[in-house]
Structure 1
Amino acid sequence: MYTLQIEHGITDFGLWKQAFDRDPVDRAASGVVGHRISRPVNDSHYIVVELDFNELNQAQQLLANLQARVWNSSAASPALHGAPQTRILETAG
């Protein structure tokens, strides 16, 4: 299993969550088999999103779609604050 981990600041969690729920990259069709949204207990303006995939190429393609179609659009990501930090992780055990 592979996980695309995304971290970034947000200006408003409710606004960010509405945009996430609109699903502009069609997570299911992109191969996402599960996801988690976390926030640090001491920072309500920061999120960590983990998107799980069965195939590495699915995670890579979704990341490319987020970079090209979502993060550079204030309409698609209205509460984004700062540049997202990303990494793709492979389950190791």
Structure 2
Amino acid sequence: MATDPDNPPAEVLAALAAMGFKNTYSGGYTHKDRGKVLDLHFQKDGTDLFQGWKAEEMEANMAAITALFSGIGITITPRVMTLAEAYA
């Protein structure tokens, strides 16, 4: 998630934490328009191989994420990365 570092969405961050998502990366950068950006990465372990999500976990987690973000006007579009993309 990319957000304003001076005004992070505290309610959204708290909701993600309450759903079991852990912040795994936090770093700032300056966008090409010279605005400051805080880049946040989140992860939630599942019970499948390599802590992945089983189908029922994926459905529940994606429903919760979709509900959270749609409540603030953001549409979530999931994408599955290829191995080449994941290890680039």
TM-score tier by shorter-chain length is 0.3 to 0.5
Greater per-residue strand proportion: 1
Point out which structure has higher relative CO (alpha carbons under 8 A, 6+ apart).
Answer: 1
Q: Choose 1 or 2 for highest CA Rg.
A: 2
TM value normalised by structure 1: 0.42
Greater per-residue helix proportion: 2
TM value normalised by structure 2: 0.44
